[in-house]
Amino acid sequence: METAMKTTSSHNWDHNVVLSVEHLTMRFGGLVAVNDLSFNVGRGDITALIGPNGAGKTTVFNCVTGFYKPTEGRIVMRHGAGFQAEKIEALTRTGRQYDDDGDDRVFLLERMPDFEISKRAKVARTFQNIRLFGGMTALENLLVAQHNPLMIASSMTIGGIFNLPGYRKARAEAIDFAAYWLEKTGLIDRADDPAADLPYGAQRRLEIARAMCIRPHLLCLDEPAAGLNPRESTELNELLQYIRQDHDTSILLIEHDMGVVMQISDHVVVLDYGQKIADGSAESVRNDPKVISAYLGVDEDEVEAVEETIDQAIREAEEHEPDSDKGGKS
């Protein structure tokens, strides 16, 4: 696995950061959904945000992508390398939303409206309950994602009405780009079928393809493996690996399927009751007693006892049914 290549430098997320969430707090009335949360997403990493139900994962996502305005805190998106601490501090003081001079663009996401986050900061997202344009074809879905460049190419519709050559060229390129992603997600044969007609797994892939059509720097996936069968899950892992390697896109994902998380994540952040309880490589998080206790729903010092009981139960079950299926443990 390519995590081996990355071990030369200590942790990517400590020095090459694409997104940093700083002291994020989100309150809904009296309910504190996220409390003083800070974490970094390394450039080119696959970062998983995990935690029990109701831990505040989706709230963090909605803050990052602008669907919620955070109560407190700062969310910084960087297109250039390094921390650019001075530039960000200066930007924070001016009250502007972003600084897009040159290649080292920085964005303060908590100040930007949702569509600007996608349009300028290039943060794409998918949804827990798939949100495709069901009555439009797969191809049209991907063309909608290229709305902003196409609007400019059609000179804000005026050039498009007269079908000027500049727009015709941009349109052909947009269709080619969409076809590229349909190819990559194995949907090219269904390009002209309405999205609502596709099977569930294909809809999940189409939503990822659509998000990739905004050419994002950061792709946020909300439970991409939910409802997928094991084979589709493996294909998804391959797709995500491909996206991060060949498209210079960092990935932040929420996932409940620990198989997926442990296999592909470089970096895992664990939330419980809106607070970060662990942050590190997949391996270190897996063995963290705090994480285990949060998932089992018991106190930290009871973890060993509970695990002992579970192991014993499994052994007993196996003795009773010696030829039960081998792939059952996860």
Partner 1 sequence: MTAAQNTARMAESVKDAAIAAFLVAVLGFFFFALRTDIGTGGLDLTYRWGLWLIAIAITFGVRLALNLFVFKAAKPITSGIKITVPSGVTSVVGRFLGPVLLIVALCLPFILMALFPNRDRQFIDLAILIMTYVMLGWGLNIVVGLAGLLDLGYVAFYAVGAYSFALLAQYFEIGFWTALPLAGLLAAFWGIILGYPVLRLRGDYLAIVTLAFGEIIRVVLLNWYEFTGGPDGISGIPKPSFFGLEFSRTGGFADFFGLDYDTIHRFIYLYYIILVLALITNFVTLRLRKLPIGRAWEALREDEIACRSLGINTTNTKLTAFSIGAMFAGFAGSFFATRQGFISPESFTFLESAIILAIVVLGGLGSQVGVVIASVVMIGGIEILRNLGFLKEIFGPDFEPTQYRMLIFGLAMVLIMVWKPRGIISSRNPSAVYKERKKISSDMVAQGEGH
Q: Crossing angle, helix 138-145 and helix 200-212, to 10 degrees?
A: 30
Which of 64, 88, 132, 278 is close enough to bind partner 1 by CB under 8 A? 132
Total number of residues shown for the chain: 330
Give the contacts of 150 (CB within 8 A, at least 6 positions apart): 143, 170, 171, 174
| Residue 154 Cβ vs partner 1, minimum distance, rounded to whole Å | 6
Q: In this chain, which stretch among 80-88, 130-138, 274-282, 283-291 interacts with partner 1, using CB under 8 A?
A: 130-138
According to CB under 8 A, which one of 54, 80, 82, 135 is a site residue for partner 1? 135
Cα 304 from chain centroid? 33
Q: Does 173 bind partner 1 (CB under 8 A)?
A: no
* x/- map, 104-123, partner 1, by CB under 8 A: ----------xxx-xx----
Spell out, one character per residue from 185 to 204, where the chain touches partner 1: x when CB under 8 A holds, - when not.
Answer: ---x--xxxx-xx-------
Question: x/- string (CB under 8 A) for partner 1, residues 205-244?
Answer: -----xx--x------------------------------
Taking CB under 8 A as the criterion, the residue among 32, 144, 164, 277 binding partner 1 is 144
CB neighbour list of residue 107: distance below 8 Å, 6 or more residues apart: 76, 77, 78, 79, 97, 98, 99, 100, 117, 120, 121
Give dist(CA 19, CA 64) in Å, integer.
9
CB of 159 to partner 1, least distance (A): 9
Contact (Cβ atoms closer than 8 angstroms) between residue 263 and residue 270: no
- Of the pair 218, 268, the CB lying nearest partner 1 is at 218
In the complex with partner 1, which residue's Cβ is closer, 187 or 270?
187
CA distance 260 to 230: 10
